Structure 1
């Protein structure tokens, strides 16, 4: 004979009541939230050179510096990262991040090649006039220079790919690493690297840099570079910089290069550049209401999904508020459109109302508990909803990122009753 357990009606009601209470306790309720973005956001905006005295007070988040390989590697081939460490620490100490551009050739200067390569007996640099200045051009025919550069990429990536002091990296060849020698002895395989080595260099960049976005000049669209004609290279995750962004003939001279390298590239990597030096007014009127040539900066930036723009002269031409306004028109801008929480969890929906994604991981967090998914790559005019394992009566929402330096903060807009 089987004995059946008896469950009283009162016990059943009690169990159902506890279950209902648990469900009610986990019900999401709308959380009022009011916030407004007050400043230029990290990894965006108008950029000053790190040597500009205005970096101490200007409304910026990024500082720029040209760097040479010989600053790090001595005549014995030994690496000393202390100059880079000093630079990055100084920039971070101002609550900013750095954009570095490694280069081998600069008008009027020795080459950026270290003496460990340059002093080899069969290495032959070319010294010639560029912009009427004596300029040294590397000997790209020498195998040791090519070997060294690939080794350098490996070591730099190993040390700095995850470093929050470094926002973006710009690389290239020729004058100012802009993929050209527009004035001087342009000789493929000699003063300028061969197409084969340029291809190897780009593939090594993609293989080594997984966290720090890297960029090349829009002038790499020309036939002296392999990118525009090679679908495999075009698939690499490089961004673009345009160092004459606002000159008079930009639409007919520069914009076709953007087209050849892919106008949707902003979806995976940052777009940036520098205000033009073709005419004095390109700098003087860069942030004027109609720009130097009839196009206001924010309109031009939106067209190309610009995250940052080097404007080292702007503190001489514009007041801080205008520089801040222009900087806030660049890159991402987040708006919280929904925030709900229970005792133990929360959901938040965030829209990107800017003109470009954020290119580093950033996580919505409630009471310091991060969502598992990132805001990285969220396109403009699109939203993403995040589940977070934290809630409470007065939950605090923030956006956190491991790629910020102390003193930086990602803000958001919100108007939730």
Structure 2
């Protein structure tokens, strides 16, 4: 007997299928402002946002800028990676007007990368309280929104957990360790569906995350915004180890191609990369689901970008498919380099399995029984976190 069905009732099903597109929530990422985003073989688009684009007055949230952005991206059959930030080189801070008007709130403006840059006042309790409240409200509205794939969060320049050039003053221009920990615990509690990520630069001694007991309580993934630079193994890889090299098993990892040298971008997808390591090899080493490569349409054709995108994330293969008149059984393997981080259900003629593919690790298989069969059952992989036009594909070579 097999799952209460007589073996002679189960008939092997012929199935031929291949993965020909980058899979949803994976791949090379372009900025939402890139004209190539409408035609490039991608599934994800990236955007920076400031808090004061949504809030100016205390307690008043205007989500229309976010709505417009998400609708625009979804209209291209893509999903968004959003990064909220308070400090950006050459710009004023992202603090709302009501915070800046407080008598005990004191921002400073100093040069970073030789540009006058605003730095928020992290000693101010109301500013801290606002940031926590903001993520509560944001998660309430968007945690289950299929237009949103991932959220990146942090502090310092570009929310990358550093002020490498400028006034790095913990508790003043950068939050102290107590607030950083409170912030991370807060996001862990608020985002129940959407994965959130922090920079690998959060491994430094200016943060609380080097403590293993702290890390085990937090659900964040990792992004590395200089993923392929020459000194990556020496300078970046130790940060990955500190924050947990196995973190990818339950939270996404990704990043961006480096801008340290021109060749970091120009040769990012060259056969041996800029420094002798092919992108597919580096991606597999860190189990990345995506990499921001906004300049890649300038340097590589669509097929190279497509293949690089398909080297990221999950990749499902159907190893067994049998069916009777009333039920089907499947064995599905993940032949990719990372799990899928949202629920995705094998379905026969629209009837879903009770089990999900979420969390299926590379090289592992999962068995499914679906209460639907028939003479010519049609297999799909259904996911409620897709926007119209997206589809999860699979490999099958069953005769």
Same fold (TM over 0.5): yes
CA contact (8 A) 2:215 2:243 kept: no
Q: Does 1:236 align with 2:218?
A: yes
SS at match of 2:9: coil
Q: CA RMSD for the aligned pairs?
A: 1.2
2:21 is matched with which residue?
39
Matches of 2:259 and 2:127 in 1, distance apart?
32
CA contact (8 A) 1:26 1:344 kept: no
What's the CA shift for 1:236? 1.3
2:74 is matched with which residue?
92
Matches of 1:23 and 1:255 in 2, distance apart?
50
Runs of 4 or more consecutive aligned structure 1 residues displaced over 4 Å after TM superposition:
22-26
Matches of 1:265 and 1:345 in 2, distance apart?
36
Aligned residues: 396
SS at match of 1:257: helix
Deviation track 1:90-141 (CA, whole Å, cap 9, x = no partner) reads: 0000000000001110000010111111111221001000000000000000
Matches of 1:285 and 1:24 in 2, distance apart?
56
Deviation track 1:259-297 (CA, whole Å, cap 9, x = no partner) reads: 000100000000000000000000000000110011010
What's the CA shift for 1:74? 1.5
2:184 is matched with which residue?
202
Deviation track 1:185-238 (CA, whole Å, cap 9, x = no partner) reads: 000100000100000000000001010000000000001111112513343111
2:376 is matched with which residue?
394
Deviation track 1:294-338 (CA, whole Å, cap 9, x = no partner) reads: 101000000000100000000000000000000000000000000
Q: Does 1:255 align with 2:237?
A: yes
Deviation track 1:17-57 (CA, whole Å, cap 9, x = no partner) reads: xxxxx976982111110000010000000000000000010
1:211 is matched with which residue?
193
Matches of 1:77 and 1:126 in 2, distance apart?
25
Matches of 1:219 and 1:335 in 2, distance apart?
35
Q: Aligned in 2, Cα 1:23/1:354: closer, same or farther, shift over 3 Å?
A: closer
Residue among 379, 389, 396 paired with 1:407 = 389
1:15 is matched with which residue?
none
Q: Does 1:278 align with 2:260?
A: yes
SS at match of 1:99: strand
TM-score, normalised to structure 1's length?
0.94
Matches of 2:336 and 2:380 in 1, distance apart?
18
SS at match of 2:151: strand
Q: Does 1:160 align with 2:117?
A: no
Q: Aligned in 2, Cα 1:285/1:23: closer, same or farther, shift over 3 Å?
A: closer
Q: Does 1:73 align with 2:73?
A: no
1:288 is matched with which residue?
270
Matches of 2:212 and 2:130 in 1, distance apart?
25
SS at match of 1:327: helix
Q: Aligned in 2, Cα 1:395/1:146: closer, same or farther, shift over 3 Å?
A: same
Matches of 1:280 and 1:23 in 2, distance apart?
61
Ranges in structure 2 where 5+ consecutive residues have no aligned partner: none
CA contact (8 A) 2:208 2:214 kept: no
What's the CA shift for 1:75? 3.1
SS at match of 1:64: strand
Deviation track 1:227-256 (CA, whole Å, cap 9, x = no partner) reads: 112513343111000000000000000000
CA contact (8 A) 1:96 1:408 kept: yes
Residue among 152, 166, 173 paired with 2:155 = 173
Matches of 2:215 and 2:53 in 1, distance apart?
29
Higher gyration radius (CA): 1
Alignment of 1:16-415 (within 5 A): 27-415=9-397
Deviation track 1:138-187 (CA, whole Å, cap 9, x = no partner) reads: 00000000010111111011000000000000000000000000000000
Matches of 2:25 and 2:217 in 1, distance apart?
24
Matches of 1:373 and 1:179 in 2, distance apart?
38
Ranges in structure 1 where 5+ consecutive residues have no aligned partner: 1-21
Q: Aligned in 2, Cα 1:303/1:316: closer, same or farther, shift over 3 Å?
A: same
